[in-house]
Chains A and B, each alone.
Chain A
Amino acid sequence: MKYLLSLFLVTATLSANAQVKLVSLNELEQRLSKGKDTTYVINFWATWCGPCVGELSQFESLKKEYFKTPVKVILVSMDFKSKLKSNVIPFVKKQKLKSEVYVINEPNTQAFIDNVDKKWSGALPATLIVKNNSRSFFEKEFVNTELEDLVKNIAHEDYKP
């Protein structure tokens, strides 16, 4: 019985871990390149970043049916890699996040920030919206319906940066 219980616990932990993976920028870019008509909304956040946590619900509640083409939200946490199990996974569970969540796996943040977007200072939150070859970057906290309007414009290809 004890053995079964511990087996159950191990499985439970494993499956919980499976929800949040490490990702490098390269892996993320590969993912985006396969998008076709999908609009990817990539939010860079951290569990320790108050404004980021505050706007997460806006990303979570982007109603897919509002858009003519698929919209995929990816939450990329900038928490330290070593905090994956201690901070990020418990946070994702507690907040019941439904979007795909990753923790960034890039030792050289300097290069990483520039590769995401030259305009990014590194401050959080930041959001990258990618559709086909068009990329729009925002170093800001979204308020009210700003994010939804923006994603609509980009997904429907009538957004002019």
Chain B
Amino acid sequence: MKRILFACLMMLGIMTKAQNGYQIGDVASDFNLKNVDGKSVSLANYKDAKGYIIVFTCNTCPVAQAYQDRVEALNKEYAPKGYPVIAINTNDPIASPGDSYAKMQERAKQKKFSFAYLEDPNHIYTKKYGANKTPHVFILQKTAKGNEVAYIGAIDNDQEEVNPQKETYVQNAINLLLQGKKPTVTYTKAIGCSIRWKKESTTE
């Protein structure tokens, strides 16, 4: 009996995990979150955007840090073409003091981020989108339906910049979107840091 119960619990765990967050083609929700400059940022603020590169990230994760400059380069390249980067810090500042609002401001200043870097108190949008690690990218495309999710996953398959078969997933996807095509690769995986959830009895 104990064993059956155990198996059921395991299955339940797997099922709830699989159902979280957006899938390709879903319409993503807009948000209103505080940027490092103190102002609130929504998707709707970007009047001329054709879409968005939403990067769920943080200050402290070594993988996210390894991608900082690549995220900045994405914004430099694609914001003028209609796909700005919007970074959202997934981590709770108490669970991870290095990810506090002040530390976000510090990092943005030090690295001269040209993109918005937003806090996400209580992980509302991290959970809604289904980001489960940092960095985790969601490319949205403005369509008649709304902000449609066109790509979910990694920036590239070369975290340490040593892969001879480097594939720049985000760039490839946006280049196709800009040509009026659908991305050929819409979902990728990468090793990332687990999200530092707010300490509560009910984080799941």
Nearest Cβ distance between residue A58 and chain B, in whole angstroms? Answer: 16
Which of B10, B154, B164 contacts A161 (CB under 8 A)?
A: B10
Select one of B3, B62, B190 contacting A110, CB under 8 A. Answer: B190
Would you call A107 and B196 a contact (CB within 8 A)?
A: no
Q: Is the CB of B189 within 8 A of A120?
A: yes
Please, how many angstroms separate the alpha-carbon atoms of A64 and B165 in the complex?
42
* Residues of chain B within 8 A of A159, CB atoms compared: 7
- Complex Cα distance A30/B164, Å? 25
Please give me the residue from chain A that is nearest to B159 by CB atom. Answer: A109
Give the complex CA separation of A39 and B160 in angstroms: 32
Question: Residues 29-70 of chain A: 1 if any B CB is under 8 Å from the residue's CB, otherwise 0?
Answer: 000000000000000001011110000000000000000000
For the complex, would chain B's binding face be called helix, strand, loop or mixed by DSSP majority?
loop
Contacts of A109 in B (CB 8 A): 154, 157, 159, 189-191
Interchain nearest-CB distance for B70 vs A (Å) = 15
Q: A121 near B: Cβ within 8 Å?
A: yes
Contact with B along A111-141 (1 / 0, CB 8 A): 1011000011111110000000000000111
A-chain residues with CB within 8 Å of residue B191 when the two chains form the complex: 46, 78, 109, 113, 122, 124
Q: Which residues of A contact B192 (CB under 8 A)?
A: 122-124
Contacts A48-B61, A110-B190 given; does A140 touch B157 at CB 8 Å: no
Tell whether, in the assembled complex, residue B132 and residue A107 are in contact, meaning their CB atoms are under 8 Å apart.
Answer: no
Known: A110-B157, A153-B3. A122 touches B190 (CB 8 A): yes
A82 within 8 A of B: yes
Please state if A123 and B163 are interface contacts (CB–CB under 8 Å).
no
* A136 (CB) vs chain B CBs: closest residue: B10
- Report the interface size class on chain B: 20 to 34
Q: Is the CB of B190 within 8 A of A160?
A: no
Tell me the complex Cα distance, A120–B191, Å: 10
Cα distance A141–B17 in the bound complex, in angstroms: 13
- Chain B stretch 53-111: residues in CB contact (< 8 A) with chain A: 61-62, 66
Residues of B within 8 A of A121 (CB): 132-133, 189
Q: Does A27 sit within 8 A of B, measured CB to CB? A: no
Can you name the residue of chain A whose Cβ is closest to the Cβ of B133?
A: A123
Assess A149 versus B6: contact at CB under 8 Å? Given A80-B62, A121-B189. Answer: yes
Q: What distance in Å separates the Cβ of B190 from its nearest Cβ neighbour in chain A?
A: 5
The answer to the question of A6 belonging to the interface, with a C-beta cut-off of 8 Å to chain B, is: no
Is the C-beta of B158 less than 8 angstroms from some C-beta in chain A?
Answer: yes
What A residues does B25 contact at CB under 8 A?
A: none
| A153 partner residues in chain B, CB cutoff 8 A | 3, 6
Interface centre among A51, A121, A159 (most CB of B within 10 A): A121
Question: Hey, which chain A residues are within 8 Å of B13, CB to CB?
Answer: 140
B162 located at the interface, meaning its Cβ lies under 8 Å from any Cβ of chain A in the complex: yes
Q: Is B194 an interface residue (CB 8 A)?
A: yes
A21 contacts chain B at the CB level, 8 A cutoff:
no
Q: Contact check, B17 vs A107: say whether CB atoms are below 8 A apart.
A: no
- What are the residues of chain A within 8 A of B175 when measuring CB–CB? none
Q: Are A51 and B133 in contact (CB under 8 A)?
A: no
6 tightest CB-CB pairs across the interface, nearest first?
A107-B163, A110-B157, A123-B133, A113-B189, A122-B189, A48-B62
A-B contact pairs, 10 of them (CB 8 A): A46-B62, A110-B157, A120-B189, A122-B154, A122-B189, A122-B190, A124-B192, A149-B6, A158-B3, A161-B7
